[in-house]
Amino acid sequence: MEPDSPLPWPGEPPLGGVYSELEVEAAVDAIRRSMDWRIGFRAANEVEAFEAEFAKYIGATYAVAVNGAGTGLDIAMMALDLEPGDEVISCAINFPGTHLAILGQGARLVLAEPDPGTLNLDPIDLERCLSPRTRGVVVTHMNGLSADMDAISEVIERRKTPRRGPIRVIGDGARALGAAYKGRRVGQDGWLTVFSFQSKKTMTTLGEGGMLVTNDRAAADRARRIRSFGDGAAWGTNYKLSKAQAAVGPIQLRNVDALNDRRRLGAAIRNRLLANSDQLSLPTEPEDFRHVYYLYSVRIREGGRRRRDRLLANLRDDYGIGAVVGNPPTYSKNPWIKRAVGQVSLPVAELVGETLLCPSMHPSMTTRDHEYVAGALMELLERH
């Protein structure tokens, strides 16, 4: 079977969402409104409107627009007021930039194992990682599936008195906008959660951008100050979103649920066709979770890294289907992180890194496209 689109499909498409004339008009209009020298590109009105709509969508009290999820995580780490020797825990299966944000603010990064089914932080292993020096846990909602936030909070609460202040849970929802857990959108739980509007994400504010949400007023105020040179009251720098970016934000946001539904439909088609394969572990969606399938993550059950790498190459060369390994343990790809964490033993994370593959997924794909992906996987698994 041939795909509907003749071009090869990138593993993680450079445009994860969809753009229309509405966004073009909003951006052009923002530029036109800025051409008066007495007004310029001052973005306060557009940013405030976008923040209000985003906070309402998530169900959080405050939203603070920033220029990326990476810088949002920088702010979250600064707001922890870390001291030398303080530790921040995060799952080894992660986006490397998430760990760079932790290390960048001087924390000791403590790596936890993933649950191999969900790829999210394993609450049982979190218990092993907690210490009197733990100040924060950065929980990435991998590939569109919320982490088990109640289990994570229970483990933290069960622990004896922390050294100073509470242990803060910081969510990385860069890949999980619109995902939900027990009826709550990702971003409602935890202390702060960041989202990304980088081009590959489900929505984008002209290629870069991000949002930080929280119910903690002091944390929101702190984030606003850091974002804008301290607002005369504290240290800060410039992490602001531009006017044209903020103007397209609400338009993109209004489309997110529909695009997530298309991703969910595509995943359901693939899951149905692959359900009988004893060669693959398919993405899981535990009861009461809403997965938004930023990536469609499967793992091969046998053959390890060599077989997985052959599959990746054949998918690309024989079928025009790109696939990414999203993600191996961060230290395995990034020597800087490796040097920072030193020798670690994380057999589950290693196994996930060797067996994972995420074939191209996009909301514009048709039923036939999803059937083509599933068919290609089935054929290749039989051949290898």
* Residue 203 makes contact with ligand PLP by CB under 6 A: no
DSSP 165: S
DSSP 115: P
- Smallest separation, CB 57 to ligand PLP (Å): 18
Contact call for residues 92 and 112 (beta carbons, < 8 A): yes
Q: Binding string, 330-349, against ligand PLP, x = CB under 6 A?
A: --------------------
Q: Which is nearer to ligand PLP, 13 or 97 (CB)?
A: 97
Of 8, 13, 97, 303, which lies in the binding site for ligand PLP, with binding defined by CB under 6 A? 97
* Residue 13 makes contact with ligand PLP by CB under 6 A: no
Question: Alpha-carbon distance 119 to 139, whole Å?
Answer: 11
Phi/psi at 176 (5° precision): -130, 35
Segment contacting ligand PLP by CB under 6 A, of 64-72, 151-159, 219-227, 247-255: 64-72
* Residue 210 makes contact with ligand PLP by CB under 6 A: yes
* Residue 206 makes contact with ligand PLP by CB under 6 A: no
Helix runs in 228-255, H state only? 243-253
* Residue 98 makes contact with ligand PLP by CB under 6 A: yes
- Smallest separation, CB 175 to ligand PLP (Å): 5
- Smallest separation, CB 203 to ligand PLP (Å): 11
Question: Which residues 271-310 are close enough to bind ligand PLP by CB under 6 A?
Answer: none
Q: Which is nearer to ligand PLP, 191 or 319 (CB)?
A: 191
- Smallest separation, CB 295 to ligand PLP (Å): 9
Q: What string of DSSP letters covers 54-101?
A: HHHHHT-SEEEEES-HHHHHHHHHHTT---TT-EEEEESBS-HHHHHH
Of 146, 198, 202, 255, which lies in the binding site for ligand PLP, with binding defined by CB under 6 A? 198
Contact call for residues 192 and 88 (beta carbons, < 8 A): no
Question: Which residues 120-179 are close enough to bind ligand PLP by CB under 6 A?
Answer: 140, 172, 174-175
Q: Nearest 5°: CA angle at 57, between 147 and 184?
A: 35
Question: Alpha-carbon distance 134 to 280, whole Å?
Answer: 37
Q: Which is nearer to ligand PLP, 72 or 236 (CB)?
A: 72
* Residue 239 makes contact with ligand PLP by CB under 6 A: no
Of 95, 289, 296, 331, which lies in the binding site for ligand PLP, with binding defined by CB under 6 A? 95
Question: Which of 208, 173, 178 is closest to 194 using CA atoms?
Answer: 173
Q: Which residue type does 81 have?
A: D
Instruction: Return the residue matching tokens 């509405």.
Output: 22
SS3 call for 127:
helix
Phi/psi at 77 (5° precision): -70, -40
- Smallest separation, CB 367 to ligand PLP (Å): 27
Residue 324 bridge partners (DSSP)? 358
* Residue 90 makes contact with ligand PLP by CB under 6 A: no
Question: Which residues 67-86 are close enough to bind ligand PLP by CB under 6 A?
Answer: 68-70
| 45: preceding bond cis by omega (within 30 degrees) | no
* Residue 320 makes contact with ligand PLP by CB under 6 A: no
* Residue 11 makes contact with ligand PLP by CB under 6 A: no
**Number of Cβ atoms within 10 Å of the Cβ of 269:** 19
Contact call for residues 100 and 140 (beta carbons, < 8 A): no
* Residue 196 makes contact with ligand PLP by CB under 6 A: yes
Residues that bind ligand PLP (CB under 6 A): 68-70, 95, 97-98, 140, 172, 174-175, 196, 198, 210
